[in-house]
């Protein structure tokens, strides 16, 4: 079976289908069972009997939500439909984050743009309060026309970012070579829609057109195949269940040959910034993982 992708640049990929899915699927529940709207004074809403969540931004405020649970490793999926039309100056952030001054964080950020121009998908990985590991991509579809699935797979060995089951970035655990990796701090899922027109679109040159407000992003089908952390105990305690061998294959998942080909396709055709290529930014030398075999 083949799967074909195309883009405005006429790049076409034909590869066998890879389904990145759990051996036991986490069923989608009502979103209010897993998510709390935490700020925005009514600009965040749960609609359609719990099937849909929306965040909105106007001149007064943006809005945001967080997961009820904290996780220490997991495969987290969310379907998102981004702000249509002129979204310049807005940022829709969707990320895992821990607490404290030496926090860990795994980021998707969607940088708005003028009508007709592509969104920029900005990714980053923070460990112990330090980031500077940005990679940015265009997408091979219009993310405002329909919902698409954005996945963070986080296990002790790697962080994988995927879009519609297509891997776009891998950050491996290279602690043995001196590269910190996020593996000791539990994290919640957060999302926010906010005004970032001081930097988000062309470095802040293009400001938000408030005549287009309110700006709205939509979310549905949150799924967490994950280790829930509560009171210092993980739900994935292997002393009480054979989870690694059965329901939670993601705990040791890695990219197979087809996945690696897809990753290379995305990075060749859609990556627009990679911190490991930015030698001017790191005059004392690139971060060590940039020199290591990935």
What pLDDT sits at residue 237?
75
Q: Quick one: pLDDT at residue 290?
A: 93
* Structural domain count, the chain: 1
> Is 12 part of a structural domain of the chain?
no
Annotated catalytic residue, options 51, 70, 79, 109: 109
pLDDT for res 42: 97
Which ranges of the chain have pLDDT less than 70?
A: 1-28, 238-247, 293-294
Collapsed DSSP state (helix, strand, coil) of residue 144: coil
Q: What is the pLDDT of residue 291?
A: 87
Q: Is residue 92 part of a domain?
A: yes
The percent of the chain in helix, strand and coil, each rounded to the nearest 5, is 15, 40, 45
Contact 285, 42 (CB under 8 A): no
> Which CATH number characterizes residue 181's domain?
2.60.120.200
Residue 289 known to be catalytic: no
**Is 109 one of the catalytic residues?**
yes
Is 112 a member of any domain? yes
As beta bridge partners, residue 15 has 3
Residue 241 lies in a domain: no
The answer as to whether 196 is a domain residue is: yes
pTM, entire model: 0.88
Please report the pLDDT score of residue 286 as a whole number: 95
- Which DSSP letter does residue 203 get? G
User: Of 105, 134, 261, 289, which one is the catalytic site residue?
Assistant: 105
What CA–CA distance (Å, rounded) separates 194 from 292?
36
Q: Which domain holds residue 281?
A: 31-236+248-290
Q: Is residue 35 part of a domain?
A: yes
Residue 131: how many other CB atoms lie within 10 Å: 13
Report the 10 Å Cβ neighbour count for 4: 8
Query: What residues contact 75, with CB distance under 8 A and at least 6 apart?
Result: 22, 151, 152, 153, 154, 224, 225, 226, 250, 253
pLDDT of residue 236: 86
């Amino acid at each position: 079976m083949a799967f074909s992708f195309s883009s405005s640049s006429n790049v076409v990929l034909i590869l066998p289908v890879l389904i990145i899915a759990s051996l036991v699927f986490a069923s989608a529940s009502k979103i209010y069972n897993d998510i709390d709207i935490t700020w925005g004074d009514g600009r965040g809403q749960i609609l359609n009997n719990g099937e849909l969540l929306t965040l909105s931004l106007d001149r007064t405020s943006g809005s945001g939500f967080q997961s009820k649970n904290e996780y220490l490793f997991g495969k987290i999926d969310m379907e998102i439909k981004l702000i249509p039309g002129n979204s310049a100056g807005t940022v829709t952030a969707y990320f895992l984050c821990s607490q404290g001054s030496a926090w860990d964080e795994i980021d998707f950020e969607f940088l708005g743009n003028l009508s007709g121009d592509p969104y920029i998908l900005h990714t980053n990985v923070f460990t112990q309060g330090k980031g500077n590991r940005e990679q940015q991509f265009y997408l091979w579809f219009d993310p405002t026309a329909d919902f698409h699935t954005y996945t963070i797979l986080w296990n002790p060995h790697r962080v994988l970012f995927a879009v519609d089951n297509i891997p776009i970035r891998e950050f491996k655990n290279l602690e043995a070579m001196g590269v910190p990796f996020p593996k000791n701090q539990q994290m919640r899922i957060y999302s926010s829609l906010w005004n970032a027109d001081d930097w988000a679109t062309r470095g802040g040159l293009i400001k938000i057109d408030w005549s287009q407000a309110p700006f709205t992003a939509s979310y549905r089908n949150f799924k967490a195949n994950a280790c829930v952390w509560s009171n210092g105990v993980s739900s994935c305690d292997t002393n009480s269940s054979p989870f690694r061998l059965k329901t939670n294959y993601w705990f040791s998942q890695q990219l197979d040959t087809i996945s690696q080909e897809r990753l290379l396709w995305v990075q060749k055709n859609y990556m627009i910034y990679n911190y490991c290529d930015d030698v001017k930014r790191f005059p004392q030398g690139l971060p060590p993982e940039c020199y290591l075999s990935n």
